[in-house]
Structures are given as C-alpha cells and as structure tokens.
Amino acid sequence: MIPFDLAEPTSLAAAIKLLNPDDPTIRPIAGGTALMLMMKSGVFNPEKLISLRKIEGKFSTIAADTDGLRIGAMTTLGALERSKDVPKYAPLITRTLRTLSNVRVRNVATIGGALAHGDPHMDLPPVLMALGATLTIIGPGGERKLPVEELFAGYYETVLEKNELISEVHVPAQGSKKGAYFKVTTGSADDWPALGVAAVIEGDAKLIKSLRLVASAATDKATRLKSAEALLSGKTVTDDLLRQAGDAAIADCEFIADVRGSVPYKRELMKVYVRRAVRGAMDGMDGAH
Amino acid sequence: MTAARTITFTLNGAPVTADVKPHHNLIEMLQGEFGLTGARESCGQGLCGCCSVVVNGRAVSGCLYLAQFVDGADVVTVESLDTREKLSPVQQAFIEASAFQCGYCTPGFIMMVTQLLDENPDPSDEEIKHYLTGNLCRCATYPEVIDAVKLAANKRKAVATA
C-alpha cells in the first residue's frame, strides 16, 4: 500500500476536528476491512486516515429497550451477531449476519463503517432500511437524525459530509413484523451477492397490512421498491399479485452490470427474488441462496 | 509524514515493542519485526484465512488489519500453540486426520479451529462448515478438516477431564 499518515484521536469530537470537508484525501477509518481492500488495490490512496478505534467506548455498545436497539456505530458485526438483545428485538439482523462475509471480517468490521462505505453489495444496509432504522450523525455543528433509507446517494456515495460521522444506529423493535433477507450469490453462499432483497411485513398469514421491500447489490445503491410495495400493501397475497410486484420492482431500480451478472440477468433475478422474499417473510423463513 | 511509530503490545504472552509505519499490516509486522511466518498473506482480501491471528481474543485477518491497531492489544499467533515437546490437540488432530496436503493454509485453519472449539467445544458438521467458510484449502482437504475438528474436540475433552 502507498504510505499514509494515521491519527488516532481519543474522542469523536476530536476525530471530527481532524476531518476536513474539502479534503478527500483525509478519511475516517473504523474496522478498516473494506478500506484496506480499496487501498491495497490502489482504488483509494489517502494522505491521512483518522482512526475511530480509540474514541469513547460508548460508541461500541448496544442498548435495548421496548423502542428497539440503539447500536453504537463502532460496534463490530461480530458483537452484533453475538448480542443476546439483537435477536430479541430484531431477529432479522442476527439471521442476516450469519450469511455475511466470515468470522474474522465480522470481528473487525463495524456497523457504522458498513453504512458509511456506501457499498451497494453489503447485506446489512438493505436489512436496516427494511427495518426502518435511523442514524444519528455528528458533525461540527452538532447532531442530526437521518433514516438509513436517505443515506445512500449513489454507487459508493452517501449524503454524509466529509466531516460528519455516524455515531449511532437506531433500529425499531421488529415486534410482530416478519422479516426475511434473501440473497443470490452466483458462486458460493458467502460470496458477494448478485442481488439482495429484504422484506419486512406487518400482516397475518395471507394479508399484508404494510411492508417495506428493499433491493441491493444488483442496483447502484440499496433501493426501496416502492412500486412493488404499493401493489402489495393491503392485499391478500396471491402468486399473480407477487408476479406483478416482481415486474413493478424493476421500474424502481437502477441496475448495474458487474462480474456477478449482466443487467438483463439481474432484472430476471429481481422478479423471482421479490416473490421469494415476500413469501419467505410471511412464512417466517429467510434465505441465502 | 509517514514516520514509523513505536507500539507496545503482548505477543504470545510476552510484552514486546515494534516500530511500525502506518501503512504496514499486521502480517508484515509479524514477519518483518518478529520472524513469525505462521500467519501469511495469501489472497490479501480476508477471504482465505491464511493470515488468521487472534487479537484480544478474537480472530482477525492480519492482512486487512493495520499493524498500528494492535498497540496495547493481546496478540496470539499459531506459534504459541505448541511447546517444544508437544503439539496442541488441534495440531495433533490435523496430522492424525491428514487434514492438509501442501500445508500452506494449515496454520490459518489451526488458529480458526482452536477459536471455534474455544467458543463451541462440540460443534456439529454445519457449525464447523459455517465457522470455516472463510478458510480456503486449494488442495481441497475439507472432508479431512471436518474429521480433524471432531478429533480435536474429543482430544480437548479428554485433556479437560484427565
């Protein structure tokens, strides 16, 4: 890797001061697993990294109450996976984590990093969007709240300013809602997905009262499938309706071609997996295929 | 601006210091500063597990971990598992089950299996496969690795009850 400088501030406030909104060569680093790949391949060559690993410990904690989970942005995916509270309030997160990357990467990668990186192939962002999670973001002028749904601006792009940091992720309790995350990997089950679809549904065995459907990986960014949601909301689910929803979902997405599939292939996958994710959520089964 | 910094940490039980540059990863430091070659960089992307090192009780991919980040940490490598006289139960099980061919990936597998059995002393086939998804063996000794994990689990239980 090309040499760079590294600062290790001991508070979030100090880290924000070290970031410069006008200098893209200075960048925060949390777990670093994704950023290391970019630096090794020469895609990103920073002059200075601001490590967040020594900031206050409270940003690595998980708090739970009847409102749901408040997850510090520096919480590792491994800590999230092992937490006893996460499956009580958002079991879909625990199930998704088991299908994501591997033990070592989960031990280091953080939830804040997974979001701020803006990589559309990651599995957690669509799940958090489908669960209606919101972020606390801290910058020089104070803090603001932002739904995860509004975080992504495009391919590896977020709406975060270069001197803003995600400090906390709030996940509302899943309660009686059922959730599923289905992904398609064209190689092994643990490869980067060609498509991910998350569904979180309020309803009974057949009737959908309300739902949130989110697609990722096949798209330029994690994307809410609003046309498909509109078709399904308040309806009794039939095969025909699910087919219509799959077709409608295509119009909601900006597809990208990559080594995991062409655009026409991913459009076909979307039709099938919207159907499977909705059925999967209603049946209480998620899947990684 | 990218001057080396001196960091202090515990390596296989002993307090040590090392001069590291910010862009050096953990594997570069273990090999360059300490001559420890058990953890090695292979895929360089955190996928293959050859660079498995335990930091503060958790396995990490050393190739994706900045050396500087172990300042103050407890670092354990495969070199700590055996004594001069005796291999660890996991190491012995890999030999008895012939769970390797060329052996390049073996230190990483040994580290991850040791971690697995620390967390789950009696794993099922599915749990073994799930835990080891991030360890690749290009000689494809996977069936023998699963046998070795079960053998190691039995050996560890025997040691624990002895």
User: What's the CATH code of the domain at B102?
Assistant: 1.10.150.120
Query: How confident is the model over A142-146, as a mean pLDDT?
Result: 97
Q: What is the DSSP string of chain B?
A: ----EEEEEEETTEEEEEEE-TT-BHHHHHHHHH---SS--SSSSSSS-TTEEEETTEEEEGGGSBGGGGTT-EEE-GGGS--SS---HHHHHHHHTT--SS-SSHHHHHHHHHHHHHH-SS--HHHHHHHTTT---TT--HHHHHHHHHHHHHHHHHHHH-
Q: In the structure, what pLDDT confidence band is assigned to residue A285 with cuts at 50, 70 and 90? A: confident
- The alpha carbons of chain A give a radius of gyration, in whole angstroms, of 19
E strand or H helix that includes residue A14: helix A12-18
Tokens of A93: 């997160």
Query: How confident is the model over A87-115, as a mean pLDDT?
Result: 95
Q: In the structure, what pLDDT confidence band is assigned to residue A254 with cuts at 50, 70 and 90? A: very high
Is the same domain home to B76 and B102?
Answer: no
Amino acid found at A247: D
Q: In the structure, what pLDDT confidence band is assigned to residue A36 with cuts at 50, 70 and 90? A: very high
Is the same domain home to B48 and B95?
Answer: no
What are the structural domains of chain A? 5-51 (3.30.43.10), 65-172 (3.30.465.10), 178-288 (3.30.390.50)
List the one residue out of A115, A281, A285, A145 whose CA is nearest residue A213. A281
Query: How confident is the model over A188-201, as a mean pLDDT?
Result: 86
pLDDT in tens, B94-153: 999 999 999 999 999 999 999 999 999 999 999 999 999 999 999 999 999 999 999 999
* Nearest-neighbour CA in chain B from A76: distance (Å): 11
Amino acid found at A20: N
Q: Under an 8 Å CB criterion, which residues of B touch A?
A: 1-2, 21-23, 25, 44-47, 49, 52, 58-61, 63-66, 68-69, 112, 115, 130-131, 133-134
Domain that holds residue B62: 5-80
Q: Which of A33, A103, A110 to mutate to test the interface with B (most CBs of B within 10 A)?
A: A103
Contact criterion met (CB < 8 Å) for B68 and A189: no
pLDDT in tens, B10-62: 999 999 999 999 999 999 999 999 999 999 999 999 999 999 999 999 999 99
CA dist., res. A220 & res. B152, Å (int): 46
Please tell me if residue A75 touches chain B, with a CB cutoff of 8 Å. no
Please tell me if residue A51 touches chain B, with a CB cutoff of 8 Å. yes
Query: How confident is the model over A271-288, as a mean pLDDT?
Result: 87
CATH of the domain at B61: 3.10.20.30
CA dist., res. B63 & res. B50, Å (int): 9
Contact criterion met (CB < 8 Å) for B25 and A36: yes
The answer to whether residue A289 scores a pLDDT higher than 50 is: no
Tokens of A81: 């996976």
Contact B153, B116 (CB under 8 A): no
Query: How confident is the model over A239-245, as a mean pLDDT?
Result: 97
Please tell me which residue of chain A has the smallest CA distance to B52: A104
Q: Which of B21, B47, B80 is the last residue of a domain?
A: B80
The ipTM of this complex is 0.96
Q: Which of B48, B80, B112 is the last residue of a domain?
A: B80
Is the same domain home to B19 and B72?
Answer: yes
Averaged pLDDT of chain A: 95
pLDDT of amino acid A139: 98
Is the same domain home to B101 and B136?
Answer: yes
Strands A5-7 and A48-51, by their bridges, are parallel
Is the same domain home to B74 and B95?
Answer: no
Please tell me if residue A103 touches chain B, with a CB cutoff of 8 Å. yes
The answer to whether residue B85 scores a pLDDT higher than 80 is: yes
Contact criterion met (CB < 8 Å) for A3 and B23: yes
pLDDT of amino acid A259: 87
Contacts of B118 (CB under 8 A, 6+ apart): none
Is the same domain home to B98 and B76?
Answer: no
* Nearest-neighbour CA in chain B from A1: distance (Å): 6
pLDDT of amino acid B160: 85
Contacts of B17 (CB under 8 A, 6+ apart): B6, B7, B8
Contact B98, B147 (CB under 8 A): no
Q: What is the DSSP string of A213-249?
A: EEEESSBSS-EE-HHHHHHHTT-B--HHHHHHHHHHH
Contact criterion met (CB < 8 Å) for A108 and B60: yes
Contact criterion met (CB < 8 Å) for A189 and B59: no
pLDDT of amino acid A1: 84
Strands A178-184 and A287-288, by their bridges, are parallel
pLDDT of amino acid A287: 58
pLDDT of amino acid A288: 53
Strands A165-172 and A178-184, by their bridges, are unpaired
Contact A165, A111 (CB under 8 A): no
CA dist., res. A109 & res. A107, Å (int): 6
Please tell me if residue A33 touches chain B, with a CB cutoff of 8 Å. yes
